């Protein structure tokens, strides 16, 4: 039995190593540039999914508005890239040179104030992290302090996602409207459209994801992680044990928001545009399904979930678009009714035991009996 | 903003926008009523509510096609037949869904939300496969066409008036059913104390199924009424689901009166704003206001303070 | 009761003119009572008398409409729940309120009075002091050999003990227990009485209980509530023979 709560036990380290090997070695070796870029795009959703594991799986707070945070990160990055692509020289045919093309088309004659900070890369990076955290903090403070949680929180975050989409589409002079911000070229002078840039960005993306995963594991294995579980189960007991429940909820909601924003920024860099189609109700709830499919209590599961669902989406919707919606709908229902612990649950219940058994047969090492009871115990009942 | 209009013009504008708002109010109320029963009374989040509504709309469309081809002499009254069929179709599907899906999830509201979202995707795709991706519109019977002049600048459309009348009727019927009938009494009993209701001999599972079916049936009727003023496509239901949930929550989930008040205020605000701002900004401001108020007063407009 | 002009003695808990109404229904009506240091006070009364509501009011779960609750001179009605806990009030709920998905150890650890802020919880270290304290408490609540099992697998009685243990580790000056022996078997009940007798030392306790035998065993003073008001107050002997109490409560 482990006595000290060290973050990451042997199993986690192994899982991390396997994940790193798949993402850093197997994929780059096996996939061509186009496919690798696609995987990179899927992995940007994994940031959101990891955030949702903490927020929803552990904390019991279901946000149906994660697309908004994804967009805040994505648009932040896109605004910087767009400004760089809209130098006076590049835009001299416009009636107002030096501003993004869509602003010119919408008769804007100067850059709006909230675009100004995005001239600077350090400021942009800072804002990509701070703006979503601020929004999450405001939404979270307003609601968690008033004890709004559960379905009400889900509905209100969904409404916020809807509002954000309408706003972005409606204010096309400031946001690029329904087309989003497109035609992005360079990051601080470095052309991101080349194959080599995409290759490098893939690794940057994976490195950031692994860092986020490690931080998420640190949070999960700290006392805060256990308080999240406790809150999910008996909010009042936690409150009357001297904790300000709302503060913990706000923290985890902000954290999930920031993770999503990092994913959004990496999406813009790798895919080369940002548009409102990634913000609204539908993408936001799809991000939840990535988490649910991977296993809402499994950080690693969330990543495999995001990859698996998106692989399926790409391959199915290419060849049988009508099957995809039916499949996705069925997935929502199945993951709730039959596999509430998702891929991680299937792994733990069916694959892991047989691996353990095979391992036991070959070596005399006693299989370690003390793998963290709490982690194993954090299982949802099937019904 | 008002400077360009004369007083008389402004009066007419407000009257016309008010009337447009009343039609919107009818649509919102009809959709929200079913949801108020399912969410407010049973606590179930049904994200597929819009798709039940669309089912009613498609049934109405099918009926209109059937009447125009086979019973053209009775075309003037097809709508009433269609409405009854829409209620039955959506209600029956609702009961089936309750039996296969919802009843397994009563203790997991967030999971219900995800599962019913999945259901809505499946239904959307089914509609697309069966009825095609294009929007369909019904032919109105002659007596529903045209408009009535009220003054020389204000006139109201008959189909809009008809939908409003229908809304009043359906709302009254729902109120009688919930607050006067024996079934309504059982529903309220089950809502307030499931175990006790079971103990005094109410078949709570049956009540659940019928309540869910009733809510879906009303959605079907709403969809039916909806065809009188707009066309129907496979994804039309999804457009309204957020508004509908906000209306129910804003009204105070357990209060049917609250639902009416909230549907009224939201629809009026939106249609009045729409005249002065672009449609999307009107919607953004309305929704933001509602969300803002809900953040300050999460229990909604009408609630009872109860001893917990 | 007109003791409002500063009682001569310093009480640990002074509840004065406390009223709460739910849409006109006064669940607690102009209630005043005082609890001494190291006193064990039992509140009894028929169902709906407002007993649990009184505990809810003291720990901040319900906000009072009127009146004051002072704990060591500090006004609790103006504090948040967690501030009330930090000032030294602990409360056990009627049905066992524990975290099924965590182990016994983790359940107890969460109540350990350290690292209660977000930052504190992130940087909390499970050091030897924590482990020793958790084991010590686990021993008292008869769960030492189950420390690393999931709480979900405990029996009803063991869950009650675990929650009592969680309060113990919190070490409150005022401990409030809502029907601690309800639903327990006879042997569990005996063990619980023994447990309570160990943990009530050096603190004041406010207990709601229906089991008269149990009340007689532990109470220093009994308060009888009826329809949100005090019907009678005093020693068990005095209360038992009060004709009003016999009529509304003990009689049937």
Q: What is the pLDDT of residue C197?
A: 81
pLDDT for the residue numbered C251:
62
Find, among B144, B136, B25, the residue nearest to B76 by Cα.
B144
pLDDT value at B254 more than 80: no
**Looking at residue B48, what is its pLDDT?**
93
CA angle C206, C210, C216 (to 5 degrees): 70
The rounded distance, in Å, linking the Cα atoms of A66 and A72 is 10
> What band does A366 get if pLDDT is binned at 50, 70 and 90?
very low
Asked if the model's pLDDT at residue B277 lies above 60, the reply is yes
* Chain B residues within 8 A of C53 when measuring between CB atoms: 307
Q: In which domain, by residue range, is A120 found?
A: 10-280
pLDDT range class, residue B86, cuts 50, 70, 90 = very high
Distance between CA atoms of B90 and B96, rounded to whole angstroms? 10
CATH superfamily of C13-250: P-loop containing nucleotide triphosphate hydrolases (3.40.50.300)
**Average pLDDT in the B77-91 region?**
92
- How many C-beta atoms lie closer than 10 Å to residue A350's C-beta? 9
Which residues does chain C have within 8 Å of residue B305's beta carbon, measured at their own beta carbons? 22-23
pLDDT of residue A364: 45
B80: closest CA of chain A, how far (Å)? 33
A162/B contact by beta carbon, under 8 A: yes
Q: Would you state the structure tokens that stand for residue B295, as one six-digit string? A: 């953040």
Q: Do residues B48 and B120 touch, judged by C-beta distance below 8 A? A: yes
A62 to B249: CB separation less than 8 angstroms, yes or no: no
Hey, which residues does C89 pair with through a beta bridge? C174
> Average per-residue pLDDT in chain A?
88
Among chain B residues, the shortest Cα distance to C52 is held by: B308
Q: How confident is the model over C5-27, as a mean pLDDT? A: 78
When pLDDT is averaged across residues A352-379 and rounded to a whole number, the result is 56
pLDDT at B240: 82
Contact residues, chain B, for C27 at CB < 8 Å:
307
Please report how many Cα atoms fall inside a 13 Å half-sphere around the Cα of residue B44, on the Cβ side. Answer: 29
Pairing of strands C40-44, C25-35: unpaired
For residue A8, pLDDT over 80 is answered with no
3-class secondary-structure state, position C17: strand
Residue found under tokens 């022996």: C181
Q: Is residue C26 classed as helix, strand or coil in its secondary structure?
A: strand
- Residue for token pair 């009357």: A240
Q: What is the mean pLDDT of residues C100-126?
A: 91
Give helix B78-100 / helix B49-70 axis angle, nearest 10°.
140
d(C-alpha A300, C-alpha A213), whole Å = 8
- Split at pLDDT 50, 70, 90, the class of C8 is very low
pLDDT tens, C210-252? Answer: 888 888 878 888 998 888 888 888 888 888 888 888 887 766 5
pLDDT tens digits, one per residue of B17-44: 777 788 888 888 988 888 888 887 788 8
Interface residue of C99, C117, C162, C174 to substitute, partner A, most A CBs within 10 Å: C99
Q: Which residues of B touch A (CB under 8 A)?
A: 45, 101, 104-105, 108-115, 117-126, 128-129, 238, 242, 245-246, 249, 278, 280-281, 283-284, 287-288, 290-291, 294-296, 298
Structure token pair of residue B285: 């401001």
Query: Per the structure block, which two tokens stand in for B116?
Result: 């019913």
Ranges assigned E (strand) in A312-362: none
Determine whether A365 is exposed, middle or buried from the number of CB atoms within 10 Å of its CB (0-12, 13-18, 19+): exposed
Distance from CA of B270 to the nearest CA of C (A): 33
Task: Find chain A residues with C-beta within 8 A of C107's C-beta.
Answer: 230
With CB atoms and an 8 Å threshold, state whether C103 touches A373: yes
Residues from chain A that touch B113, judged by Cβ atoms under 8 A, are 62, 151, 154
Alpha helices in A111-194 (DSSP H): 121-144, 150-170, 172-175
Spatial distance between the Cα atoms of A18 and A39, rounded to a whole number of angstroms: 17
Taking phi over 0 as left and psi of -120 to 50 as alpha, with beta for the rest, B172 belongs to alpha
Mean pLDDT in residue range B259-270: 88
Chain B contact residues (CB < 8 Å to C): 304-308
Tens-place pLDDT, residues A151-190: 889 989 999 999 999 999 999 899 999 999 999 999 988 9
Q: Which residue's structure tokens are 């005093």? A: C234
Mean pLDDT of B78-93: 93
pLDDT at A94 over 90: no
Minimal CA separation from C1 to chain B, in Å: 26
The answer, yes or no, to whether residue A119 has pLDDT greater than 70, is yes
| Count of alpha carbons within 13 angstroms of residue A375, beta-carbon side | 20
Cβ separation B304–C23 shorter than 8 A: yes
Under DSSP, the state recorded for A5 is -
| pLDDT, position A197 | 93
| Cα angle A334-A335-A336, degrees, rounded to a multiple of 5 | 90
Number of H helices, E strands in chain A: 18, 2
pLDDT (tens digit per residue) in A276-300: 998 889 999 999 999 999 999 999 9
Window from A23-27, A377-381, C239-243 with minimum mean pLDDT? A377-381
Q: How many domains does chain A have?
A: 1
Which tokens go with A273? 């545009």
Residue to mutate among C62, C89, C100, C118, with most A CBs inside 10 A, is C118
What is chain A's alpha carbon radius of gyration, rounded to the nearest angstrom?
Answer: 22
- pLDDT for C4 beyond 70: no
Q: Which residues of C touch B255 (CB under 8 A)?
A: none
SS3 content of chain A, % helix, strand, coil (to 5): 75, 0, 25
Letter string b/e over residues A321-348, b meaning 16 or more CB atoms within 10 A of that residue's CB? eeebbbbbbebbbebbbebbbbbbbebb
Closest Cβ opposite residue B122 in set A143, A289, A330: A330
Is there a contact between B115 and A322 if contact means CB atoms under 8 Å apart?
no
| pLDDT tens track for A293-330 | 999 999 999 999 999 999 999 888 888 888 888 999 99
> CA-nearest residue of chain C to A380?
C101
Paired with A190 in beta bridges are: A187
Cβ-defined contact of C25 to B307 (cutoff 8 Å): yes
Rounded Cα gap, residues B104 and A334, in angstroms: 12
Q: Residue ranges per domain, chain C?
A: 13-250
Token pair 């900070």 in the structure block, residue: A117
Q: Do B287 and A336 touch (CB under 8 A)?
A: no
Query: Which residues of chain A make contact with B300, given a CB cutoff of 8 A?
Result: none
β-pair partners for C14: C34, C70
Rounded distance between C-alpha atoms, residue C233 and residue C225, angstroms: 9
The tens digit of pLDDT for each residue in B217-226 reads 999 998 988 8
CB distance C98–A4 less than 8 Å? no
Does the beta-carbon distance from C118 to A5 stay under 8 Å?
Answer: no
Which residues in chain C are contacts of A5 at CB distance < 8 A? 125-126
Please give the DSSP secondary-structure letter assigned to residue A51.
Answer: H
- Within-domain flag for A357: no
Mean pLDDT of all residues in chain B?
A: 84
CB proximity A367 to B under 8 Å:
no
Give A325→chain B minimum CA distance, Å. Answer: 6
The answer to the question of residue A234 being in a domain is yes
Rounded Cα gap, residues A230 and A59, in angstroms: 8
């Amino acid at each position: 039995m482990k006595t000290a709560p060290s973050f990451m036990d042997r199993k986690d380290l192994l899982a991390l190593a396997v994940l790193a090997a798949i993402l850093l070695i197997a994929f780059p070796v096996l996939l061509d540039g186009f496919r690798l870029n696609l995987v990179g795009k899927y992995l940007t959703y994994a940031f959101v999914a990891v955030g949702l594991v903490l927020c929803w799986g552990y904390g019991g707070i279901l946000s149906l508005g994660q697309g908004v945070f994804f967009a805040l990160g994505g648009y932040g990055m896109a605004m910087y890239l767009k400004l760089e692509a809209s130098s006076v020289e590049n835009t001299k045919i416009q009636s107002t040179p030096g501003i993004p093309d869509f602003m010119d088309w919408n008769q804007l004659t100067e850059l709006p104030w909230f675009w100004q900070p995005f001239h600077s890369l350090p400021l942009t990076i800072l804002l990509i992290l701070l703006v979503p955290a601020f929004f999450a903090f405001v939404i979270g403070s307003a609601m968690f302090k008033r004890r709004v949680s559960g379905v009400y929180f889900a509905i209100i975050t969904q409404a916020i996602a809807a509002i954000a989409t309408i706003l972005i589409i409606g204010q096309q002079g400031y946001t690029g409207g329904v087309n989003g911000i497109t035609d992005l070229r360079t990051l601080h002078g470095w052309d991101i459209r080349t194959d080599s840039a995409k290759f490098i960005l893939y690794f940057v993306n994976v490195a950031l994801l692994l860092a986020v995963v490690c931080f998420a594991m640190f949070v999960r294995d700290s006392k805060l992680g256990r308080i999240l579980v406790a809150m999910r189960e008996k909010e009042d007991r936690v409150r009357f044990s001297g904790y300000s429940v709302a503060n913990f909820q706000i923290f985890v909601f902000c954290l999930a928001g920031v993770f999503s924003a990092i994913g959004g920024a990496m999406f813009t860099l790798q895919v080369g545009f940002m548009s409102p189609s990634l913000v609204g109700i539908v993408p936001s709830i799809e991000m939840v399904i990535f988490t649910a499919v991977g296993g809402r209590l499994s950080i690693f599961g969330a990543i495999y979930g995001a990859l698996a669902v998106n692989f399926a989406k790409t391959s199915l919707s290419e060849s049988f678009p009508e099957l995809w919606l039916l499949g996705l709908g069925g997935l929502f229902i199945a993951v709730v009714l039959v596999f509430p612990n998702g891929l991680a649950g299937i792994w733990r219940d069916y694959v892991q035991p047989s691996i353990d058994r095979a391992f036991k047969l070959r070596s005399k090492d006693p299989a370690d009996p003390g793998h963290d009871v709490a982690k194993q115990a954090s299982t949802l009942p099937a019904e | 903003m008002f400077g360009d209009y004369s007083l008389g013009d402004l009066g007419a504008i407000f009257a016309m926008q008010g009337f447009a708002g009343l039609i919107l109010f009818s649509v919102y109320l009809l959709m929200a009523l079913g949801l108020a029963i399912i969410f407010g009374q049973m606590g179930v989040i049904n994200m597929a509510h819009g798709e039940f509504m669309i089912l009613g709309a498609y049934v109405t469309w099918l009926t209109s096609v059937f009447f125009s081809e086979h019973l053209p002499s009775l075309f003037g009254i097809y709508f009433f037949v269609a409405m009854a069929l829409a209620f039955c179709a959506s209600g029956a599907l609702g009961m089936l869904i309750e039996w296969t899906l919802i009843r397994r999830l009563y203790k997991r509201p967030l999971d219900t939300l995800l599962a019913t979202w999945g259901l809505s995707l499946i239904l959307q795709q089914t509609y697309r496969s069966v009825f095609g991706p294009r929007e369909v519109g019904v032919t109105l019977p002659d007596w529903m066409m045209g408009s009535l002049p009220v003054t020389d600048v204000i006139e109201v459309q008959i189909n809009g008036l008809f939908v409003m009348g229908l809304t009043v009727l359906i709302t009254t019927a729902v109120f009688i059913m919930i607050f006067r009938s024996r079934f309504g009494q059982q529903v309220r009993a089950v809502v307030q104390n499931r175990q006790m209701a079971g103990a005094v001999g109410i078949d709570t599972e049956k009540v659940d199924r019928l309540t869910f079916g009733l809510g879906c049936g009303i959605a079907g009727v709403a969809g039916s009424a909806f065809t009188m003023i707009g066309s129907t496509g496979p994804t039309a239901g999804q457009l309204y689901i957020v508004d509908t949930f906000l209306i129910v929550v804003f009204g105070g989930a357990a209060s049917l009166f609250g639902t009416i008040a909230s549907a009224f205020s939201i629809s009026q605000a939106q249609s009045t704003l729409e005249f002065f701002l672009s449609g999307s900004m009107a919607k953004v401001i309305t929704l933001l206001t509602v969300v803002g108020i809900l953040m300050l007063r999460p229990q909604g407009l009408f609630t009872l303070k109860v001893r917990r | 009761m007109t003791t409002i002009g500063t009682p001569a003695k310093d009480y640990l808990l002074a509840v004065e003119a406390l009223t709460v109404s739910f849409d006109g229904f006064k669940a607690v009506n102009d209630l005043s009572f005082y609890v001494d240091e190291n006193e064990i006070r039992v509140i009894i009364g028929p169902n709906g008398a407002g007993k649990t509501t009184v505990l809810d009011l003291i720990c901040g779960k319900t906000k009072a409409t009127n009146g004051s609750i002072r704990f060591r001179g500090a006004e609790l009605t103006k504090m948040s729940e967690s501030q009330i806990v930090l000032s030294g009030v602990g409360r056990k709920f009627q049905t066992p309120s524990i975290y099924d998905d965590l182990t016994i150890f983790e359940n107890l650890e969460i109540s350990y009075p350290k690292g209660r802020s977000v930052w504190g919880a992130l940087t909390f270290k499970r050091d030897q002091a924590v482990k020793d304290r958790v084991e010590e408490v686990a021993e008292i609540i008869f769960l030492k050999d189950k420390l690393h099992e999931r709480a979900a697998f405990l029996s009803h009685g063991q869950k009650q003990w675990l929650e009592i243990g969680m309060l113990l580790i919190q070490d409150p000056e005022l401990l409030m227990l809502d029907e601690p022996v309800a639903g327990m078997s006879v042997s569990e009940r005996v063990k619980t009485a023994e447990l309570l007798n160990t943990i009530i030392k050096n603190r004041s306790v406010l207990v709601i209980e229906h089991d008269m035998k149990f009340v007689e065993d532990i109470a220093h003073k009994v308060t009888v509530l009826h329809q949100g008001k005090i019907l009678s107050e005093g020693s068990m002997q005095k209360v038992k023979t009060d004709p009003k109490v016999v009529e509304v409560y003990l009689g049937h």
